[in-house]
Structure 1
Amino acid sequence: MPLPPPDTAREPLHTRSIRVDSFVREDGQWDIEAELIDVKAYDFPKRAGAMHHAGEPVHHMHLRVTIDDQFTITAAMADYDAAPYNQECMAIAPDYRALVGMNLLRNFRQAVKDRFGRTAGCTHMTELSYVLPTVAVQTMANRRRKEQEAGQGQKRPFQLEGCHALRLDGPVAREFYPKWYVAPKTEAKCE
């Protein structure tokens, strides 16, 4: 259900779009490709009298990581189609190869912040990288489901306890993950 219409007239200013696609590769790994586009809804002056027109990207960047079945990044590539300071911004792209070796499920966002924070990285590229862990989880969902159905999944599914809907004592765990369900203290029966 979409948000209700606003109760006050308003004017658009800025749109950020993030798109992420994932792919299974022939070599048994997965590619995750993320794209960020920022556009303004108004014209504004740039350097040397040039004009940046409404709808033209201010930021347009791409990030691809390749991951193995343990969610470890084995390859990384960043690139830009548009950046506000052109080559000054774009020069950082090769540095994002340093994502290689990081694990998307083991303190990834903090590791990225530590490695690419402030002047060591690009604010927008770093922010784009933050969507990778949850997309990787979605990328592997079908594979993990098949493993569970085949009886190969003896470990508790990693998504449990990851959000309020997936708490062990909740209705989702009771219905979809009964093996891991834990009755709330108020439901526990005394004998």
Structure 2
Amino acid sequence: MSLPKPETSRKLLHTRSIRVQAYERSDGLMDLEAELIDYKGYDFHRIDGMVNKAGDHVHDMTLRVTIDAEYTIVDAQASYAAAPYDASCMAITPAYRDMVGMNLLKNFRRQVKERFGRTAGCTHMTELSQVLPTAAVQANAGARRNRAGQSNADKRPFQLDGCHALSTDGPIVLKYYPRWYAGRQEGEQGEAAAAASPDMSS
């Protein structure tokens, strides 16, 4: 469902796009490449006096991490195609190799903020890294199910109770994961309603 059309006229100020692509490697590892692009909807003068035209990239950066089957980062590379302070911004790229050894599912966002906070990193590159954990899980979900087959049939799916739609007392879990459904069944709902009603027979 798309958003309703705005009722007030407006003009574009800023566009930010974030894209993550995941690649299965022949060595069994996975590459995640995250890209962030910013541009304005109008011309403006940069601090160096140059004019940045509408649509010209203000930020254009990519962060690639290679992870193993346990989501531990074994390689990390950062690069810029555009940055507001050019070489001064781009000089921070080697620092992001320090992500090696971090695990995307174990306090990753906190560790990144601690390691690359303020002058120790690039605000936008650090912000870009924050999308990696959920992107990795999403990318690996189908492959993990295929590899597991029925071997993990007795293991509760990790995604349950992870979001509104997958609440264990909701209709999606009842329909697709009935074994793990924790809500009331129709008969139970009827019994609960009867128990809550006053006894009119006395």
User: What are structure 1's unaligned runs of at least 5 residues?
Assistant: none
2 CA distance for matches of 1:135 and 1:113?
18
Q: Is the 8 A contact 1:89 1:122 kept in 2?
A: yes
1 CA distance for matches of 2:153 and 2:136?
18
Of 79-88 and 137-146, the range deviating more from structure 2: 137-146
The Cα of 1:15 is off from its aligned counterpart by 0.4
The Cα of 1:185 is off from its aligned counterpart by 9.5
Superposed, 1:77-116 pairs within 5 Å as 77-116=77-116
Residue by residue, what CA displacement relative to the aligned partner does 1:150-177 show, whole Å, maximum 9, x if unpaired?
3235432221121111122222222222
Larger radius of gyration: 2
**Closer, same or farther: CA 154–117 of 1 in aligned 2, 3 Å:** farther
**Closer, same or farther: CA 84–153 of 1 in aligned 2, 3 Å:** farther
Q: Does 1:157 align with 2:186?
A: no
2:195 corresponds to: none
**What amino acid sits opposite 1:124 in the alignment?**
H
1:76 corresponds to: 76
Q: Is the 8 A contact 1:24 1:30 kept in 2?
A: yes
1 CA distance for matches of 2:153 and 2:63?
31
**Closer, same or farther: CA 67–48 of 1 in aligned 2, 3 Å:** closer
**Closer, same or farther: CA 168–10 of 1 in aligned 2, 3 Å:** same
**Closer, same or farther: CA 155–31 of 1 in aligned 2, 3 Å:** same
**What amino acid sits opposite 1:122 in the alignment?**
C
Q: Is the 8 A contact 1:147 1:153 kept in 2?
A: no
1:65 corresponds to: 65
The Cα of 1:180 is off from its aligned counterpart by 2.0
Other structure's SS at 1:134 match: helix
The Cα of 1:29 is off from its aligned counterpart by 0.8
Of 39-48 and 177-186, the range deviating more from structure 2: 177-186
1 CA distance for matches of 2:93 and 2:14?
24
The Cα of 1:27 is off from its aligned counterpart by 0.6
Of 78-87 and 114-123, the range deviating more from structure 2: 114-123
Number of equivalences: 190
**Closer, same or farther: CA 14–96 of 1 in aligned 2, 3 Å:** same
TM-score after normalising by structure 1: 0.91
CA-based RMSD of the aligned residues comes to: 1.9
**Closer, same or farther: CA 36–105 of 1 in aligned 2, 3 Å:** same
TM-score after normalising by structure 2: 0.87
**Closer, same or farther: CA 41–139 of 1 in aligned 2, 3 Å:** same
Residue by residue, what CA displacement relative to the aligned partner does 1:102-147 show, whole Å, maximum 9, x if unpaired?
1111222111111111221111001111111111011111122224
1:36 corresponds to: 36
